Each structure stands twice: as C-alpha cells, then as structure tokens.
Amino acid sequence: MKTWTYFREGFVGSFELAAAIVMAVVRVAADFLNGGAGPRDRHRSASHS
C-alpha cells in the first residue's frame, strides 16, 4: 500500500510537471506565431484592433 501511495503521488507530481511544461511550450509557440509579441502586447493590440 505504501509503494502504491508513493507511486501515485509521484505520478501526479510528474503529470503536473508535464502539464506545466506543455502549457509553457504552448505559450512560447503562440508568442512565436504571433510575431514574438508578449502576452501584454498581444492583449493590447487585440483590444485596439
């Protein structure tokens, strides 16, 4: 039972880490496709146009 709890906690931790990495990659890819503009610049230009 202890090993299962350890495995489950380790799996959840690695899953959260993978999710954070994926979100970071998606954010960087979106900025790159948007011409390298940051989130603030993108929001400002989007509200203007």
Arithmetic mean of pLDDT over the chain: 76
| pLDDT greater than 60 at residue 5 | yes
In a domain, 22, yes or no: yes
Which pLDDT score is estimated for 41?
A: 60
In a domain, 3, yes or no: no
In a domain, 4, yes or no: no
Which pLDDT score is estimated for 35?
A: 79
pLDDT, one tens digit per residue, over 12-28 is 788 888 899 999 999 99
CA distance 43 to 9: 37
In a domain, 8, yes or no: no
The count of domains in the chain is 1
CA distance 19 to 21: 5
